[in-house]
């Protein structure tokens, strides 16, 4: 799933290309993708006032009173392309044509069609998905992180990925941040010591900032099917830790795995390889 760095790079590139241009037409190729009570035709003729990111959402300002909110979910992709001459491609879900020459197209790699887009009246905060988001991960100090992840308490790697607590972080960058901050992924947030919050506050903007810079080198006006991320632990089970050289460990959950360094993050103890695992003694 695209996360904060990829979405931020995409938003910056789309903003440079689309700001000030006019919406010529809107085409819901997959009607179920377009949600909400505001009809797509209401965006026709609007001037694009900017493209931004909030959490993992793309926000397109349209004129004085409309906002397009796009959520890619797991398999959605967004980018600029040429409008189709005839029948749209099979993966196309929504097309917002600009000046009749360019199309901002939402497409989906999966057949489940979970990605969605909504037009809302007013600013982006009028959309319930935007309003429900917590603060941005790059904006928090140690106290902000503690408040976000302990109200209510939870498991660290899960809490980091809950957008209502902190916006924009998914499985990949949660793992990268925990490794950089030397934090045990399955620790209860209520039990973390004071210095852990300091390490988290220092690591998160560094990890995410570096990732945004790397993403910006390859992502401008289209989000590719493959992310092409450079990671220290995510996806590297069995590889040597870049810090201590120990082979990286993992704990498996249904549908994904969490990779970590036992010496660097859990005091050398291994997690049992099952859901809701406990540290092996």
% of the chain beyond a pLDDT of 70: 97
Tell me, which fold does domain 4-131 have in CATH? N-terminal domain of MutM-like DNA repair proteins (3.20.190)
The domain 137-265 is placed in CATH, from the list 3.20.20.140, 1.10.8.50, 2.60.120.480, 1.10.150.450, at 1.10.8.50
pLDDT at residue 281 above 60? no
Q: Average of pLDDT values for 172-198?
A: 98
pLDDT value, residue 274: 57
pLDDT value, residue 121: 97
Q: Average of pLDDT values for 148-177?
A: 97
Count the neighbouring beta carbons within 10 Å of the beta carbon of residue 91: 18
Top-confidence residue, 161 or 227 = 161
The H-or-E segment that residue 26 falls in is strand 23-27
**Cis geometry, peptide bond prior to residue 104 (ω within 30 degrees of 0):** no
Instruction: Please tell me the pTM assigned to this model.
Output: 0.94
- Its sign, for the CA torsion 105, 18, 50, 168, is positive
pLDDT value, residue 255: 78
pLDDT value, residue 112: 84
Q: Among 83-87, 180-184, 263-267, name the one with the lowest average pLDDT.
A: 83-87
% of the chain beyond a pLDDT of 90: 89
pLDDT digits (tens, 9 = 90+) for 131-157: 999 999 999 999 999 999 999 999 999
Output b/e per residue, 238-263; b: 16+ Cβ within 10 A: eeebeeeeeebbbbebeeeebbbbbe
For the record, the structure tokens of 148 come out as 């976000």
Top-confidence residue, 87 or 227 = 87
pLDDT value, residue 19: 98
3-state SS assignment for residue 106: strand
- How far apart CA 29 and CA 94 sit, in angstroms, is 5
Per domain, the residue ranges of the chain are: 4-131, 137-265
Contact in structure between 75 and 114 (CB atoms under 8 Å)? yes
pLDDT digits (tens, 9 = 90+) for 21-36: 999 999 999 999 999 9
């Amino acid at each position: 799933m695209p996360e904060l760095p990829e979405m931020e790079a995409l938003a910056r590139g789309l903003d440079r290309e689309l700001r000030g241009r006019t919406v010529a037409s809107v085409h819901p190729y997959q009607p179920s993708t377009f949600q909400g009570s505001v009809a797509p035709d209401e965006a026709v003729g609007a001037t694009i006032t900017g493209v931004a990111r909030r959490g993992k959402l793309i926000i397109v300002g349209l004129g004085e009173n409309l906002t397009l909110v796009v959520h890619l979910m797991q398999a959605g992709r967004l980018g600029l392309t040429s409008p189709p001459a005839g029948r749209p491609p099979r993966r196309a879900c929504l097309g917002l044509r600009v000046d009749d020459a360019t199309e901002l197209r939402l497409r989906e790699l999966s057949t489940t069609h979970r990605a969605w887009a909504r037009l809302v009246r007013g600013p982006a905060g009028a959309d319930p998905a935007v309003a429900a988001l917590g603060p941005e991960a790059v904006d928090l100090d140690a106290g902000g992180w503690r408040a976000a992840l302990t109200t209510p308490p939870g498991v660290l790697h899960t809490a980091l990925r809950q957008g209502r607590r902190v916006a924009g972080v998914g499985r990949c960058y949660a793992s990268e941040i925990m490794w950089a901050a030397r934090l045990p992924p399955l620790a209860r947030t209520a039990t973390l010591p004071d210095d852990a919050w300091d390490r988290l506050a220092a690591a998160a903007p560094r990890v995410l900032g570096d990732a945004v810079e790397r993403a910006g080198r390859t992502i401008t006006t289209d989000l590719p099917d493959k992310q092409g991320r450079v990671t220290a632990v995510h996806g590297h089970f069995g590889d040597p830790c870049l810090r201590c050289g120990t082979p990286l460990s993992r704990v498996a959950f249904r549908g994904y795995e969490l990779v970590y360094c036992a010496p660097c993050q859990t005091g050398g103890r291994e997690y049992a390889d099952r859901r809701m695992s406990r540290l092996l003694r």
